[in-house]
Amino acid sequence: MSTAPFRTTSLVVTLLLAGLPTFSFGQSGRDKHAVYYSGGVTFATDGSLGNGACFRVTGKVDAKDFFENLKRTENARGMTFSRDEETVTQFPEKLILSFIIRDYPCGPRFQQEGPHVYLTREMMSTLQLSLYWKNGLDMRPVYESKKIASSVEVIAPYAKDLAAELPKRFEWSWELEVASAGVPLTDSLVLMFRTPDGRIAARVAARL
């Protein structure tokens, strides 16, 4: 199982992240009934810690040239993935998983009592990440992954004249290399964040 505590470093990594799936319909010269992927697959979710702090995770799974012109079509026989008339059934040998975590107000599904609790470096240093491949109800651990880069930056407040009086807010960034050879495109990459006591703080899947 790929489980390791998050540790922030001073290395700055540029992550091009979005909160919505990357696909398009009906572009010129393309099958209007197909879903096209460009620039990878994005994901987003909200999470919470047991102490009342809440956060948002946004990220992307990508691989050099792999998702360019990749399309998904569906019919009575199921889903088919192809690129330039060639059927594609599996992910490449490696994927690049990049994501950010930042402090975020608690949503309706997270009950928060008292004043807002902000994420701190200490809180994030104890958060555990597990990666899984999911197909239907089957979940199996990712057999190999490694950190490429990570960083933490202070988020500048909108009210700059009050910066000295406001709690510091941070944004954490990670980039990981995930082994994916032989994994079918019908599988989803699941990220599961746990607190030290084993509680699931957030869970999200990157799926085509």
- Of 12-21, 82-91, 167-176, the poorest mean pLDDT is in 12-21
Name which of 15, 2, 5 is nearest 153 in CA terms: 15
Cα–Cα dist 26/149, whole Å? 37
pLDDT at site 1: 52
The pLDDT value given to residue 189: 98
- What's the average model confidence in pLDDT over 32-58? 87
| Position with higher pLDDT, 74 vs 26 | 74
Q: pTM (2 decimals)? A: 0.79
Of 5-9, 172-176, 195-199, 200-204, where does mean pLDDT reach its minimum? 5-9
Alpha-helix runs per DSSP H in the chain = 121-125
Residue 111 has pLDDT above 90, yes or no: no
pLDDT in tens, 114-158: 567 888 889 999 999 999 999 999 999 999 999 999 999 887 766
For residues 72 and 66, give the distance between their C-alpha atoms in angstroms, rounded to a whole number. Answer: 13
CATH, range 2-12+41-58+90-206:
2.60.40
Domain ranges of the chain: 2-12+41-58+90-206
Non-local CB neighbours of 153 within 8 Å, separated by 6+ positions? 12, 170, 171, 173
pLDDT digits (tens, 9 = 90+) for 164-178: 666 778 899 999 999
Does the pLDDT of residue 9 top 50, yes or no? Answer: no
3-state secondary structure 171-185: EEEEEEEEECCCCEC
Beta-bridged to residue 154, according to DSSP, are: 170
